[in-house]
Amino acid sequence: MDPPFQEKYKSLFNDYTMVSNDKDDNLMNSSDGWELPLIDLQRLTLKDPVIREKCVEEIRQAASEWGFFQVVNHGIPQEMLKSLQNEQRKAFHHPFSKKDEDNVLNLSANSYRWGNPRATCLRQLAWSEAFHVPLTDISRICDEHKTLSASIEDFAATANTLAQGMAEILAENLGVSSTFFQENCPEETSYLRMNRYPPCPFSSEVFGLVPHTDSSFLTVVNQDQIGGLQLWKNGRWINVKPNPEALVINIGDLFQALSNDVYKSIKHRVLAPQQVERLSLAFFYCPTYETVIKSCIKPSMYREFTFREFMMQIQRDLKATGDKVGVSRFLL
């Protein structure tokens, strides 16, 4: 069922020479892991305005200082998340040929992805596979996986509500219209990405997912307890300790530009697991392609741009260099 990484990228392995300018860039970092800020969202539902405001301030502080935080009592039942992870595993455990050639889930073309076809060295190779699922594709999923389809639909609806609520809280102090996200981020413009990281015999040499930032406003992540997520903080990579009760939320590039760098889209990566597979599911909260991203804070650090312009620039950079440049392309 695993993609043929070694066969496909044989030349990269043959040419491999360990090169790193980062003194702390040890992929086998064995530290116990850092606890991300943990926020109990139940406090947002309480009548006490002091308690609610304290929760709001914690969300904004975590978004500003970390770019990542964890939430509990988020409105998505644990039973739903466990069921979805089981169905996700079933989908990935089909033979590779069925996933790659037969479109086993009946999704749009090129929805199944693995490795990195643009990789020119091992450090650009992602030892992972994924199903990219636009929310408009959920109804296409074949009857054989109707339980997966139903689980994804339920998760997407609740994750969208969660993401919109977090976005509105984060934008309240930025001068952004209170209806901005409701008007520009209809549910069908967001998408899901189901990820699987197979066991990797070269886990000290390749990533599960290469360092990157997310091209969204916010990303909501459900991960298993294997670990492997790292983020760049204070000039070094730190391990993020999984919390079985929590979802991870991180700031995307669009929110960094919208907030004029009040909130930061932090570079992160995933280590390739050595002996066991790792699963995660990410919901990317995105606007329509015509949505204009501009900060209400003056002077603005970024020129205004549409989401379409942003995504087209990413594709140009990937084609030219193999790497995403991101929001810095739009700095004034």
Q: Which residues are catalytically annotated?
A: 278
- Which of 318, 226, 309, 221 is CA-nearest to residue 268? 221
Contact between residue 241 and residue 48 where contact means Cβ atoms under 8 Å apart: no
CA 160 to CA 186: how far, in whole Å?
9
Contact between residue 227 and residue 239 where contact means Cβ atoms under 8 Å apart: yes
The sheet carrying 268-271 orders its strands as: 207-212, 268-271, 229-233, 236-239
CA 5 to CA 167: how far, in whole Å?
38
> Which residues are registered as beta bridge partners of 280?
195, 223
- Provide DSSP, 245-277: T-EEEEE-HHHHHHTTTSS----EEEEPPSSS-
**Coil, strand or helix at 69:** strand
